[in-house]
Structure 1
Amino acid sequence: MQKLQVQGVHHITLTGADRQTSIDFWQGTLGMPFVFEQPNLDTPGENHLYFDPGDGRLITVFTHEARKPDPSPTPRGAGNLHHLAFNVSAATFAQAVERLAARGITHSGVRDRGFMDSIYFRDPLGLLIELACYRFEPPAGFSHADVLREAHLIRVARNAHAIAPPHLADAIERLVARRHGAGAEDDTAN
């Protein structure tokens, strides 16, 4: 049986409260340009707002003026969304704690994830948001996923608990060697 091969995230749609709450958070706090809005074509009375998270894809929000923000954490059962993570530059990440605090937004502080750093906080509707900043740049012609896949193989071979900076450095070295046609005999990353 053949797969339905996806080629990336097209968009993510969330159920929001009123229009202004969504604009204030997605554009005002996270800096996502407000692209356009139109009616929700499936539910009369709802509006559909579109935001650009920075990569040309879309985050969209269904809004209704009768819905009020509820900051209670969203459900954490099977099938529920745990959190949304957004990539930020190192320069932005370095200012995130200060900028969230200036807006009165409670956050987790910086969390070390081995291959990235993270900060978590909740949106006005209780959805957990993560700002993530990779600790590496992939070599030309490769993606972050390529480096992480290779780092994972190295981590497993070394019986390490989680991906750490040495695994990333060795993964990048392997990928660069592979790009330049180096054979397996030149691969000393294990």
Structure 2
Amino acid sequence: MKIERIHHVAYRCKDAKQTVEWYQQMLKMNFLLAIAEDQVPSTKEPDPYMHIFLDAGGGNVLAFFELPTQPEMGRDPNTPAWVQHIAFKVKDRATLLDYKAHLEANGVDVLGVTDHGAFHSIYFFDPSGHRIELACPDPDETDMLRRMDEVKWKMLEDWDKTKRAPKHAAFFHEREFKQ
């Protein structure tokens, strides 16, 4: 048995139409499909919803549910906002910077560019409050990823024992991104 790929990832949104339009305008995602029901198919609970699906590229699908009869959506108060996010890969540094300029020109607050060593990222929030990351590979990522691969198990073992950040991959954040 083997998982082939993610079929779709689903999140809740505040407004389905606004979400489709925002992802189309800001991230150039195509609207693929909408499903609306008054009853949840898997549980048979009466709970009307609109389920929308967006093309996230490469066969990846991002989906959202609008749930008008449920309490207002919120975040887990025990998880920092930077932890839970959706990350999308873009082709290269030029594309990342183009998206940053496009988002900012459309009034979206963008954090970054952040150099993560093997990749570079920008961060922002969608209208429902989901943190979004766009990431591009670093031109030298192959060596960086190889080095990270060599230490991953040792890092995990040390973390498991101490719950402190091991320094085996300190090289990962040693340099600054040049725009």
TM-score calculated relative to the size of structure 1? 0.65
Quote the Cα distance in structure 2 between the aligned partners of 1:102 and 1:69.
30
Match of 1:11 among 8, 15, 36: 8
Unmatched 5+ stretches in structure 2: 41-45, 155-167, 175-179
- Letter of the 2:64 partner, please give it: V
- Once the 2 structures are TM-superposed, how far is the Cα of residue 51 of structure 1 from its aligned partner? 0.6
Match of 1:115 in 2: 118
Match of 1:100 in 2: 103
- Once the 2 structures are TM-superposed, how far is the Cα of residue 155 of structure 1 from its aligned partner? 6.2
Match of 1:150 in 2: 146
Quote the Cα distance in structure 2 between the aligned partners of 1:109 and 1:117.
9
Match of 1:89 in 2: 91
- Once the 2 structures are TM-superposed, how far is the Cα of residue 25 of structure 1 from its aligned partner? 1.8
**Which SS does the other structure have where 1:10 is aligned?**
coil
- Are the equivalent residues in 1 in contact too, given 2:118–2:145 (CA < 8 A)? no
Quote the Cα distance in structure 2 between the aligned partners of 1:20 and 1:55.
24
**Which SS does the other structure have where 1:45 is aligned?**
strand
Percent identity (aligned)? 25
Give deviations 1:50-77, integer Å, cap 9, x for gaps.
Answer: 111011121111124678998x8x3363
- Once the 2 structures are TM-superposed, how far is the Cα of residue 122 of structure 1 from its aligned partner? 0.7
- Are the equivalent residues in 1 in contact too, given 2:47–2:69 (CA < 8 A)? no
The answer as to 2:36 corresponding to 1:36 is no
- Are the equivalent residues in 2 in contact too, given 1:87–1:133 (CA < 8 A)? yes
Larger RCO (alpha carbons 8 Å, 6+ apart): 2
Unmatched 5+ stretches in structure 1: 139-143, 166-190
RMSD: 3.5
- Are the equivalent residues in 2 in contact too, given 1:82–1:128 (CA < 8 A)? yes
Say if 1:106 and 1:20 are closer, same or farther in 2 by CA, change over 3 A: same
Match of 2:23 in 1: 26
Structure showing greater radius of gyration is 1
